[in-house]
Chains A and B, each alone.
Chain A
Amino acid sequence: NAGVTQTPKFQVLKTGQSMTLQCAQDMNHEYMSWYRQDPGMGLRLIHYSVGAGITDQGEVPNGYNVSRSTTEDFPLRLLSAAPSQTSVYFCASSYGGRPLVGEQYFGPGTRLTVT
């Protein structure tokens, strides 16, 4: 099993550009989520999904969209990049999510810089 994969590893965007961060898992996990990690602020939940066709907002959803058309994939779209979105983005997946979210398996991360 590849686990959780993320592409790209690194990305530089100009302000106003849009892009999609890809996330895929091959463990048949129902629950998937996106976090951003900024220095000294831990991991903040952007969006999550408890199953195909179901998504919900986390703590910091503004400026990001997600969709979950399949169990395996959970892409994160930046609509119009801003310097405040410079961060490391982690995708994670786990069994369950309803009613309790369990052990999270994290991808290797995408380091995004917006100039």
Chain B
Amino acid sequence: GQQVMQIPQYQHVQEGEDFTTYCNSSTTLSNIQWYKQRPGGHPVFLIQLVKSGEVKKQKRLTFQFGEAKKNSSLHITATQTTDVGTYFCAGPRETSGSRLTFGEGTQLTVNP
């Protein structure tokens, strides 16, 4: 079946350092979505990318969708303590758009 893998599983950074998490799918994705989950909370939608090679920015966050639509990345510039949480990517298979598969997530901790 479809697999969506994320690396790294954990990342510890000092406040002000940059952070990147990578998402790779075993199959082509029709779109990629990114979510953030704070400790004890529920996942919250960040962004959706649809086009091959697409790049979108939200303040200090930069999201990329690969040319082959099988990988994606989230980069945070100059992390802050408010960035703490687990970041998930998720994508529906191109052949079955109604089933959303989540990656295992990258847990980010930020030392002040």
Distance (Å) between the CB of A86 and the closest chain B CB? 17
Interface string of B1-32 (1 = CB under 8 A from A): 10000100100000000000000000000110
B: residues with CB less than 8 A from A are 1, 6, 9, 30-31, 33, 35, 41-45, 48, 88, 90, 92, 97-105
Hey, what's the 0/1 contact readout for A36-73 against B, CB within 8 Å counting as 1? 00001111110010100000101100000000000000
A-B contact pairs, 14 of them (CB 8 A): A31-B98, A43-B43, A43-B102, A45-B102, A58-B99, A101-B98, A103-B33, A103-B45, A103-B48, A104-B33, A104-B45, A108-B41, A108-B42, A109-B42
- Indicate if the CB atoms of A101 and B102 lie closer than 8 Å: no
Please indicate the chain B residues that have their CB under 8 angstroms from the CB of A58 in the complex. 99
With A101-B92, A106-B42: A48-B99 Cβ-Cβ less than 8 Å: yes
Closest B residue to A92 by beta carbon equals: B43
B98 to chain A, nearest CB (A): 5
B100 near A104: Cβ-Cβ < 8 Å: yes
Question: Which positions in A face B, CB cutoff 8 Å?
Answer: 31, 33, 35, 40-45, 48, 50, 56, 58-59, 90, 92, 97-109
Also in contact, A48 and B33, with CB within 8 A (given A40-B9, A106-B42)? no
Chain B neighbourhood of A48, CB < 8 A: 98-100
Known: A43-B88, A105-B45, A108-B42. A99 touches B100 (CB 8 A): no
Give the residues in chain A near B1, CB-CB below 8 Å: 59
Task: Flag if A50 contacts B98 (CB, 8 Å).
Answer: yes
In the complex, which residue of chain A has the Cβ closest to the Cβ of B40?
Answer: A109
Chain A residues near B103 (CB-CB < 8 A): 42
Residues from chain A with a CB closer than 8 A to the CB of B33 are 103-104
